[in-house]
């Protein structure tokens, strides 16, 4: 519980000027003000931190400090979001969340990002991915969690939140097999947070560990984990019938360009297909004069997939600057054979 004396302390911290502080001292002061304001829901402190960050950004900062300014700015907006209870709102318009997302994007794309210490880079990427998942951009979030885990494979918060994101993703998938495989990988990511090698920057990660364990238990109760692990067989798939086609499919897999949820797990050969489908649709026969025909959305969806696959292939050709020929220009070409009709 926050005492009156603690609020007095926070108010004094808000009155501090950074004019005579070095860049490093200013960052320490602002960072502490943000943390204290978040912990105590002290709105004045969060707003003051944003003001000081704007003031600090006017200095001729080294690149690493410039990246940290954006990271701290994101944390200040996160504090504002917490204080305003934005996380519990279904509103599409959330300026605090938008500003936090923009600041995290600027931090991760800043010239100084690559020179930050590894843990700090993982913190920035994990926070960025978490927020992307929160606003419904789960596929983008998976890629950013994966980027964090390339820096530190044992980073516990990226492992756990990636598992939670995959769990959310599995709930959106119509195909039973793919949904089960996504759930399995979510379970494995969540369980890996409890491994001996898991790294946590927090002194007390117990609350996060309990949350991740509960999420894993929920999945284990809904999915036969061992059965799915035995059947997933992700290394089996269509490699193509020529070297050129094989190169095209491998390029699509490496860049997660197949319209297949399994491709978001990695460059698995089983994902080399555009099998993304619409969910089941229900429509009365009398809803339209031509009620015996499929709803218009079916045709639109097929057209979107065809246009996407064509654009993907032209991009591949452009990047390789050569004309790619396949063994059969008919129905077995990688574009046509992987675009399945959903009628």
Q: What is the pLDDT of residues 275-295, one digit of tens each?
A: 998 888 877 766 666 656 778
CA distance 331 to 336: 6
Asked whether residue 4 carries a pLDDT value surpassing 70, the answer given is no
| Start-to-end C-alpha separation, the chain | 60
| Helix ranges (DSSP H) in 255-295 | none
What is residue 314's predicted lDDT score, i.e. its pLDDT? 94
What is residue 123's predicted lDDT score, i.e. its pLDDT? 97
What is residue 334's predicted lDDT score, i.e. its pLDDT? 37
What is residue 44's predicted lDDT score, i.e. its pLDDT? 93
Q: Is the dihedral of CA 129, 133, 137, 143 positive or negative?
A: positive
Arithmetic mean of pLDDT over the chain: 88
Is residue 72 domain-resident? yes
**What backbone torsions phi and psi does residue 60 show, to the nearest 5 degrees?**
-85, 80
What is residue 288's predicted lDDT score, i.e. its pLDDT? 65
CA distance 232 to 84: 44
Burial class of residue 26 (count of CB atoms within 10 Å of its CB; 0-12, 13-18, 19+): buried
Joined tokens for residue 213? 């364990």
What is residue 333's predicted lDDT score, i.e. its pLDDT? 36
Name 199's bridge partners: 155
Is residue 49 domain-resident? yes
What is residue 156's predicted lDDT score, i.e. its pLDDT? 97
What is residue 54's predicted lDDT score, i.e. its pLDDT? 97
Q: Which residues contact 323 (CB under 8 A, 6 or more apart)?
A: 317
What is residue 1's predicted lDDT score, i.e. its pLDDT? 43
Joined tokens for residue 211? 């949350």
> Which carries the bigger pLDDT value, residue 334 or residue 76?
76
Joined tokens for residue 183? 């759930």
Q: Which residues contact 208 (CB under 8 A, 6 or more apart)?
A: 156, 157, 160, 193, 200, 202
**Checking phi first, is residue 333 left (phi over 0); if not, alpha (psi -120 to 50) or beta?**
beta
Domain hosting 317: range is 243-338
CA distance 56 to 50: 10
What is residue 89's predicted lDDT score, i.e. its pLDDT? 64
Find the angle CA(167)-CA(168)-CA(171) to the nearest 5 degrees.
Answer: 90
How many C-beta atoms lie closer than 10 Å to residue 24's C-beta? Answer: 10
Element (H, E) at 334: helix 334-338
Q: Please give the share of the chain, as a percent, with pLDDT higher than 70.
A: 88
What is residue 62's predicted lDDT score, i.e. its pLDDT? 97
Q: Please give the share of the chain, as a percent, with pLDDT higher than 90.
A: 73
Name 155's bridge partners: 199
| Integer CA distances (angstroms), 203 to 82, 199, 200, 206, in order | 22, 11, 8, 9
Asked whether residue 329 carries a pLDDT value surpassing 50, the answer given is no
Interval 113-126 mean pLDDT: 98
Is residue 206 domain-resident? no
- Ranges 18-32, 273-287, 296-310: which has the least confidence: 273-287
Q: Which residues contact 183 (CB under 8 A, 6 or more apart)?
A: 166, 167, 170, 219, 222, 223, 228
Asked whether residue 215 carries a pLDDT value surpassing 80, the answer given is yes
- Ranges 165-169, 198-202, 223-227: which has the least confidence: 198-202
CA distance 308 to 258: 10
Asked whether residue 19 carries a pLDDT value surpassing 60, the answer given is yes
Name 300's bridge partners: none
CA distance 338 to 276: 10
What is residue 294's predicted lDDT score, i.e. its pLDDT? 76
Among 96, 116, 136, where does a domain finish? 116
Among 116, 149, 184, where does a domain finish? 116
> Which carries the bigger pLDDT value, residue 290 or residue 138?
138
Give the position of tokens 């210490």. 117
Is residue 139 domain-resident? no
Give the position of tokens 């290394």. 235
User: pLDDT tens digits, residue range 234-272?
Assistant: 999 888 889 999 999 999 999 999 999 999 999 999 999
Is residue 248 domain-resident? yes
User: pLDDT tens digits, residue range 199-208?
Assistant: 998 878 999 9
Among 65, 87, 116, where does a domain finish? 116
Is residue 138 domain-resident? no
Interval 22-35 mean pLDDT: 96
Is residue 238 domain-resident? no
Asked whether residue 330 carries a pLDDT value surpassing 60, the answer given is no
The answer to whether 141 touches 133, Cβ cutoff 8 Å, is yes
Interval 3-30 mean pLDDT: 89
Domains in the chain: how many in total?
A: 2
Joined tokens for residue 73? 């700015």
Is residue 274 domain-resident? yes
CA distance 67 to 70: 5
What is residue 325's predicted lDDT score, i.e. its pLDDT? 47
């Amino acid at each position: 519980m926050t005492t009156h004396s603690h609020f007095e302390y926070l108010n004094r911290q808000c009155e501090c000027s950074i004019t005579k502080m070095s860049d490093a001292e200013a960052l320490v002061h602002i960072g502490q003000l943000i943390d204290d304001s978040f912990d105590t829901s002290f709105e004045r402190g969060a707003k003051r931190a944003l003001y000081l960050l704007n003031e600090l950004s006017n200095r001729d900062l080294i690149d690493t400090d410039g990246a940290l300014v954006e990271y701290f700015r994101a944390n200040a907006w996160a504090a504002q979001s917490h204080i305003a209870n934005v996380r519990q709102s279904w509103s599409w318009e959330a300026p605090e969340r938008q500003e936090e997302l923009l600041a995290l994007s600027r931090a991760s794309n800043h010239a100084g990002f690559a020179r930050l210490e590894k843990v700090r880079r993982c913190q920035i990427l994990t926070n960025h991915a978490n927020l992307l998942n929160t606003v419904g951009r789960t596929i983008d979030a998976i890629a950013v969690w994966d980027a964090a885990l390339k820096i530190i494979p044992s980073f516990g918060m990226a492992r756990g939140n990636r598992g939670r994101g995959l769990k959310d993703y599995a709930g959106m998938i119509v195909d039973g097999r793919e949904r089960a495989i996504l759930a399995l990988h979510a379970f494995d990511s969540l369980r890996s947070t409890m491994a001996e090698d898991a790294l946590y920057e927090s002194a007390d990660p117990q609350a996060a560990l309990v949350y991740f364990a509960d999420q894993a238990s929920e999945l284990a109760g809904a999915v036969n984990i061992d059965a799915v692990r035995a059947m997933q067989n992700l290394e089996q798939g269509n490699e193509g019938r020529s070297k050129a086609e094989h190169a095209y499919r491998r390029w699509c897999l490496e860049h997660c360009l197949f319209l297949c949820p399994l491709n978001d797990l990695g460059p698995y050969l089983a994902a080399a297909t555009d099998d993304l489908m619409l969910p089941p649709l229900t429509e009365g026969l009398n809803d339209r004069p031509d009620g015996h025909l499929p709803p218009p959305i079916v045709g639109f969806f097929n057209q979107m997939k065809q246009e996407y696959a064509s654009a993907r292939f032209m991009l591949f050709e452009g990047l390789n600057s050569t004309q790619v020929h396949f063994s059969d220009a008919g129905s077995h070409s990688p574009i046509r054979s992987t675009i399945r009709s959903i009628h």
